[in-house]
Structure formats: structure tokens, C-alpha cells
């Protein structure tokens, strides 16, 4: 594909995905995300031809001009749209497929100082919301969506939506995914949720078996009422934790 054909294709992707773009001329003159991608392509060509210092200098100029930091060794597919542009970082070994949309503040970064593949692979048609962090040698599957502010540390299946810190799946193949096991909530509250869930199970089993309370009540009805109150209270705590 010729240079001008690629430019027309990039501008067309902006017109398709951003309702704020009123004309192709506006997209050409007012979208630093486009400029960042074009400067990257020049820097990537220089990098592949072993002019690596010049490539890095050009990428730093692009960062100064657009607010987007793309390492020239990264592999970016066609029709990448970086909306608003500010604060986007794409690491050295990142791979980005075609028709991907990145919003401001997105980081495709690493998790350590090791060599080799240490940045994410983002497959075709992925949408990543603002200030999301996708970290490490992981894969975000085709047509998936990453919610704003999420921190993705594990592979995301195709056609999924993930949110949270760390991110977990809430939709997959158009179906809502409900968390039924507290072990699936991988955040600092996980242990507390697991303990609460175990306590709820214990209370339910004791109610079903009609076991006496450790400190007996005056009558059986008062005992069962107290158990039910405790059960409802614990269920509220668990539901509040799952909504975090």
C-alpha cells in the first residue's frame, strides 16, 4: 500500500470512529493521534534499517509534539486510532493489530526489566478505554473491550469486556458474566470476601440442619430469627464486596 493510500485509510478510520470529526481536513490538521502514528511509521522504518539512534530521536520528537510515546520497535497494525492522544505509551515489544482504538492515558507496558517479549499483544478490533494499563506479555483477544482505568495483568479472551483493578471479565460473547466464586475476585478484598462467603455457607448449613446456637436463646424461634438476621447481614457485605 502506498504512503498516500495509508494516510487516506488512517483518516477514514478517524471519520468512522469519532463523531466529533466533521471533515477529513479537520482530522488531518487537528488529530495528534494521527501524527503520532505517522511519525511512528517513519521511526519504525529507520529502526528496521538499523538507524536506531535516529529512530529513537524521532520517536522522542513525536512524544514532544503529540504526547504519545511509541517505541519505534513496536509493531502497529493498520487503522490504529489514538483518540485525544495525550499520555499514551506503547512499549518496545508491544504488538497492536488492525482497527484498534486507544484512548488517552493508555499504557501498553511491561512488568519488569527482563529481555524478550515483555509487552502486550493487542489483537484486531480491540477498544481500550482511557487510563487503562495493559501490562506484561499478555494477549487481549479480538474485538475485546478494556474499561477505563482498568489494570489488565492476564490474558483476555476474544469478544470479552473487562473492568477493574485488576481487571476481570464482565461480558463474554455478549453474555453477562457473574462472579459466583469469591476466588475469582483477585483484589485486596479477596480474602475478606472468601471468609464472608464461607461464614454465609456455615450459617446456611446450620439453619438447614437446625443446629443449636453456641449461646442458646430462650426459645427456638428467637434463635432462628437471630441466625436469619446474621445471614442477611453477611449477604449484604458479600454483595457490597462483589460490586467493588
- Answer yes or no: do 164 and 201 share one domain: no
Name the domain count of the chain.
Answer: 2
Last residue of a domain, one of 176, 204, 224: 176
Taken as a whole, the chain contains a residue count of: 244
Instruction: Read off the pLDDT of residues 6-33 as tens digits, 9 standing for 90 and up.
Output: 888 889 999 989 888 899 999 899 999 9
- Answer yes or no: do 224 and 122 share one domain: no
- Answer yes or no: do 21 and 7 share one domain: yes
Indicate the average pLDDT of the chain: 84
User: Which triple of cell numbers denotes residue 192?
Assistant: 475478606
pTM for the model: 0.73
Q: Give the residue numbers spanning the domain of 50.
A: 3-176
- Answer yes or no: do 153 and 187 share one domain: no
Last residue of a domain, one of 152, 176, 200: 176
User: Which triple of cell numbers denotes residue 80?
Assistant: 490504529
Instruction: Read off the pLDDT of residues 229-241 as tens digits, 9 standing for 90 and up.
Output: 766 766 666 565 5
- Answer yes or no: do 70 and 130 share one domain: yes
CATH number, domain of 78, equals 2.160.10.10
- Answer yes or no: do 217 and 127 share one domain: no
- Answer yes or no: do 166 and 192 share one domain: no
Amino acid at each position: 500500500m502506498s504512503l498516500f493510500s495509508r494516510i487516506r485509510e488512517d483518516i477514514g478510520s478517524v471519520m468512522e470512529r469519532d463523531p466529533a470529526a466533521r471533515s477529513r481536513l479537520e482530522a488531518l490538521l487537528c488529530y495528534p493521534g494521527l501524527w503520532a502514528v505517522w511519525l511512528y511509521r517513519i521511526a519504525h522504518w529507520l529502526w528496521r534499517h538499523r538507524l536506531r539512534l535516529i529512530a529513537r530521536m524521532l520517536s522522542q520528537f513525536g512524544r514532544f509534539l503529540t504526547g504519545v510515546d511509541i517505541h519505534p520497535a513496536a509493531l502497529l497494525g493498520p487503522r490504529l486510532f489514538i483518540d485525544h492522544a495525550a499520555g499514551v505509551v506503547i512499549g518496545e515489544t508491544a504488538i497492536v493489530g488492525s482497527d484498534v482504538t486507544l484512548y488517552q492515558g493508555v499504557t501498553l507496558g511491561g512488568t519488569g526489566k527482563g529481555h524478550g517479549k515483555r509487552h502486550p499483544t493487542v489483537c484486531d478490533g480491540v477498544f481500550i478505554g482511557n487510563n487503562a494499563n495493559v501490562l506484561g506479555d499478555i494477549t487481549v483477544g479480538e474485538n475485546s473491550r478494556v474499561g477505563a482505568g482498568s489494570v489488565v495483568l492476564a490474558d483476555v479472551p476474544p469478544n470479552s469486556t473487562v473492568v477493574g483493578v485488576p481487571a476481570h471479565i464482565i461480558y463474554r460473547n455478549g453474555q453477562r458474566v457473574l462472579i459466583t466464586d469469591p476466588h475469582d475476585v483477585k483484589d485486596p478484598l479477596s480474602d475478606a470476601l472468601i471468609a464472608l462467603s464461607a461464614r454465609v455457607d456455615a450459617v446456611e448449613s446450620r439453619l438447614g440442619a437446625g443446629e443449636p446456637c453456641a449461646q442458646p436463646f430462650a426459645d427456638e424461634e428467637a434463635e432462628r430469627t437471630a441466625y436469619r438476621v446474621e445471614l442477611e447481614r453477611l449477604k449484604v457485605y458479600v454483595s457490597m464486596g462483589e460490586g467493588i
